[in-house]
Amino acid sequence: MKQILAYAFWGIFILSSGNSCSSDESSSLEEGEATNEETTGTVDPTLFLADGLVEPITTVEKTLSDGTVAMCYKITTTSTPSEHQMGPWCPTNISDGADKGGKWFENGELYDVDGAFIENMADFYSDATWKMYDENGDIYVTNSLEDCQNAANPNVGEEYENFCVECQPSYVTDITLTYYIPVTPVKLDAPDYISDGAPGGGAPPTDGPPAGGPPEDGGGEGSVIGLAFNGVNFDPPAPTSAILGAYTLAPMDDNGGHVNPNTGYHYHAATGMSSSVAQEDGHSAMIGYAIDGFPMFERLDEEGNEPSDLDDCRGHTDETRGYHYHVAAAGTNSFIGCFAGAQGSFEIN
Residues of the chain with pLDDT under 50: 1-40, 197-222
Whole-prediction pTM: 0.83
Q: What is the pLDDT of residue 196?
A: 53
User: Could you tell me the residue ranges of all domains in the chain?
Assistant: 57-84+174-204+223-236+259-348
Q: What is the pLDDT of residues 204-228, one digit of tens each?
A: 333 333 333 333 333 333 489 999 9
pLDDT reported for residue 110? 96
d(Cα 179, Cα 189) in Å, to the nearest integer? 24
For residue 273, give every residue at least 6 positions away whose Cβ sits within 8 Å of its Cβ, in sequence order, or none.
Answer: 84, 254, 255, 256
Enclosing H/E stretch for 9: helix 6-10
pLDDT of residue 195: 63
> Read out DSSP for 297-343?
E-SS-TTSPPPS---TTSEEEETTTEEEEEPPPGGGS-S-SEEEE--
DSSP letter for each residue of 112-125: E--HHHHHTHHHHT
Residue 37: the pLDDT is 34
DSSP class of 45: G
Residue 144: its pLDDT value, please? 96
